[in-house]
Amino acid sequence: MSRDVTSSTLDGACALVTGGAGGIGASVAAALAEAGARVVVLDREAEAAEKVAADVGGHAEVADLTDPDDLAAAVDRVEGRLGPVQVLVNNAGAQHVAPVTELDPAHWQRLHDLMLRAPFLLSRRVLPGMYAAGWGRLVHVSSVHGLRASAYKSAYVSAKHGLEGLSKVIALESAGTGVTSNTVCPGYVRTPLVEGQVADQAREHGISADRVVDEVLLARTPVKRMVEPEEVAAAVAWLCGPHTASITGSAHVLDGGWTAT
């Protein structure tokens, strides 16, 4: 299905959102559905995925993104039911905090499998259909940690840096095909993942959660508030919409000015 810059909605495009059962992913699913997409919420949490899918009038698909065979089978089911994926949002993520000297290699591998290998495998799978249609959108939810580093987050930071590189390579290879690839790089977003980090830091430092947000998480951020999931979703939806054919290979930062310091 070819589209042009005058199209105002996604008008029936099949949009696959990984990690769509909560947080940023659920907000992205809602934003894409509002734009007219047929949204597939792909997550390992079946009940939560079904709820989000029902809320947005979409479809739920359950898979373990760290298992290549399970992931491939899930895409087969999606495309068998809805046709080729035309919008791919690689959003699923996780975090593990530990010094490099103490980080279990299994945790390192799991985060890379989830946040780098899975986006590669999904992109590799859906790109031929996008090329054939002459249109497609890949948006990878990266992080300010795809551009900056923080101590004790080597697995997460390196995976997100790798995701930035993967997106740029896809952008170069797909140039002129009608397919674009971009990243969205938020700072700390108000999600269960970050709220868990806040609670952990509060216990570790013996301070309140509010002080953790102000003095630890946002210490390097001029705008002293966390990003809301809906803000990230709006950026993702915009990158999938009209007038974005020339926007590819770029990182769109929502970090309250962190990277400007």
Residues with catalytic function: 156
d(CA 55, CA 74): 21
Instruction: Say if CB 153 and CB 223 are below 8 A apart.
Output: no
| Closest to 136 measured CA to CA, from 147, 148, 127, 125 | 127
> E strands along the chain, which residues?
14-18, 38-43, 59-62, 87-90, 136-141, 179-186, 251-254
- Between the CA of residue 143 and those of 30, 64, 66, 106, 222, what are the distances in Å? 20, 22, 20, 22, 17
| Closest to 181 measured CA to CA, from 169, 190, 196, 189 | 169
| β-strand pairing of 87-90 with 59-62 | unpaired
Q: What are the tokens at 110?
A: 């799991």
Give the phi and the psi of residue 195 in degrees, each rounded to 5.
Answer: -60, -35
- As a whole number of Å, the end-to-end CA separation of the chain is 43
